[in-house]
Amino acid sequence: MKGASCRGVDRRVLAARIAQDIPEGSYVNLGIGAPTLISNYLPGDLDIVLHTENGLLGMGPEPTAAEVDPDLINAGKLPVTELPGAAYFHHADSFGMMRGGHLDICVLGAFQVSQAGDLANWHTGDAGAVPAVGGAMDLAIGAKQVFVMMDLLGRDGTSKLVAECSYPLTAARCVSRVYTDRAIFDVTRYGLAVIEVLGDSSVEHLREVTGLDLIDAVPKHPAATAVGSAS
């Protein structure tokens, strides 16, 4: 298969795949946009505590229409619910929690990720764009593991996994793992390692579309392909 003609998995499949890598007992922030989908795939019988930076740990699923409460929203300003065991706190405490390294995992969308783990997800640098950073920089520097969820290729077919970010950075060397529609990559000290291929892609194909020297770390024995929690 050649170039952009390969088909990746869709976002819901990718969200479900990421959900598998979130161990029970984790404290997790799911960023605005696609990462929010992951909550739909976290097993309901596991205790995974979701954080929203606007002041809640123990965030629950979307409310029914009757339950919508204007005082109970997530970072994307959508209505949510609270679970038993929840706790509210103010913004300085919430960001202290993030900056202080207490969250186990955050999952963020991205415009670009570099092979060194640099993240660009807040600004395209376009002169006409209204810049908005929100809590992205705090999450990127603060969580113990930063997962990125994104399409491997942009709409114009260019790779979002890059040698060096051309967009303004959110934070340098902060990304642990990149989940794309075509493969999962670990950021290692030796460069990006493909740890799992998704859809009908291949390591060869991934090297071609990204133009990067990717390390092939896909387990050769299918029985061993289930990736557990990130190391």
Asked whether position 144 contacts other proteins by CB under 8 A, the answer is no
Asked whether position 200 contacts other proteins by CB under 8 A, the answer is no
Asked whether position 185 contacts other proteins by CB under 8 A, the answer is no
Could you say which of 53, 62, 67, 164 is catalytic?
53
Asked whether position 82 contacts other proteins by CB under 8 A, the answer is yes
What's the rounded Cα separation, in Å, for the pair 192 and 93? 34
Asked whether position 44 contacts other proteins by CB under 8 A, the answer is no
As measured in angstroms, the least distance from the Cβ of 198 to other proteins is 30
53 labelled catalytic: yes
As measured in angstroms, the least distance from the Cβ of 196 to other proteins is 28
User: What is the gyration radius of the CA atoms in the chain, in angstroms?
Assistant: 18
| φ, ψ dihedrals at 191, nearest 5° | 125, -170
Asked whether position 91 contacts other proteins by CB under 8 A, the answer is yes
Asked whether position 229 contacts other proteins by CB under 8 A, the answer is no
Instruction: Name the pairing type of β-strands 56-60 and 81-88.
Output: antiparallel
Asked whether position 207 contacts other proteins by CB under 8 A, the answer is no
Contacts of 231 (CB under 8 A, 6+ apart): none
Amino acid 197 reads: V
- Of positions 33, 134, 151, 207, contacts other proteins by CB under 8 A: 134
What's the rounded Cα separation, in Å, for the pair 35 and 43? 16
In the numeric block, which tokens belong to residue 48?
């995974």
Site for other proteins, rule CB under 8 A: 24-25, 27, 47, 49, 51-58, 68-74, 77, 82, 84-92, 94-103, 123, 128-138, 141-142, 168-172
The residues that are catalytic are 53
